Amino acid sequence: MGKQKKARKYAVMKRMISLRDHRINEKDRAKAPAKKKEDPSAIKEREVPQHPSCLFFQYNTQLGPPYHILVDTNFINFSIKAKLDLVQSMMDCLYAKCIPCITDCVMAEIEKLGQRYRVALRIAKDPRFERLPCMHKGTYADDCLVQRVTQHKCYIVATVDKELKRRIRKIPGVPIMYISRHRYNIERMPDDYGAPRF
């Protein structure tokens, strides 16, 4: 007669005694957390997010010509694919002077892409582009753009990235520029809000 195979038990852990168990010595035993009594006469503090003064409901009063447009990495790449001149197409879309802005993170992201994207790098180093320095750690461009737009509501964000668009839509008063049908389009410009024009 052969030995009967014993089924192995997976993910089985040894049982441990709780630190509050009565079998542990008094000095080694964990103390139960003491509850603080709330003072009913104390003033309760709560944090309410501060709304920027530039917004009139959803209407952003800081947006106006010349428009400052934060450009994302993929926006430059898709513009090259669609054979669009960045600055000229922006002006055709908005009918006003546009200043494309590029952050250090976006520049680093384009440089990381290598030789294949050297045309995008040459466009990004154009003197017409305004260079914005980044003070934070890391070179993740999406977080950088979202953080900058949250702090300063004077930018339009130019991107084709769906995830970044979804994140920016949650921030009130920030328009998004995107590419469709070989031309630039804008989403959520001040005229779309239905607020009175001054």
* Model confidence pLDDT, tens digit, residues 79-120: 999 999 999 999 999 999 999 999 999 999 999 998 999 999
Judge whether 11 lies within some domain: no
CA distance 184 to 180: 6
What is the domain-level CATH number for residue 131? Answer: 3.40.50.1010
> Average pLDDT, whole number, for the chain?
85
Question: Is residue 38 one of the residues assigned to a domain?
Answer: no
Q: Are 154 and 68 in contact (CB under 8 A)?
A: yes
Highest mean pLDDT among 11-20, 47-56, 66-75, 180-189: 66-75
Do the domain assignments include residue 83?
yes
Q: Which residue has the tokens 């154009």?
A: 126
Inside any domain, residue 30: no
The total number of structural domains in the chain stands at: 1
Note whether 148 and 103 are within 8 A (CB). yes
* More confident: 30 or 146: 146
The rounded distance, in Å, linking the Cα atoms of 62 and 190 is: 10
Provide the residue range defining the domain that includes 84. 63-187
DSSP code string of the chain: -PPPPPPPPSS-------TT-TTS-TTTSPPPPPPPPPPTTSPPP---PPPPTTEETTEETT--SSEEEEEPHHHHHHHHHTT--HHHHHHHHHSS-EEEEEEHHHHHHHHHT-GGGHHHHHHHT-TTSEEE---SSS--HHHHHHHHHHH-TTEEEE---HHHHHHHHTSTT--EEEEETTEEEEES-GGGG-PPP-
**What is the tens place of the pLDDT at every residue in 9-33?**
666 667 777 877 878 887 777 776 7
Give the pLDDT of residue 40. 76
Residue 176 predicted with pLDDT over 90:
yes
In a domain, 114, yes or no: yes
Task: Answer yes or no: is 41 within a domain.
Answer: no
- pLDDT over threshold 70, residue 190: no
Residues 6+ away with beta carbon under 8 Å from 1: none
Q: With respect to residue 156, please indicate whether it lies within any of the assigned structural domains.
A: yes
pLDDT at 193: 47
Angle at 143 between CA 141 and CA 145, to 5 degrees: 65
- CB of 70 closer than 8 Å to CB of 86: no
Residue 110, domain member (yes or no): yes
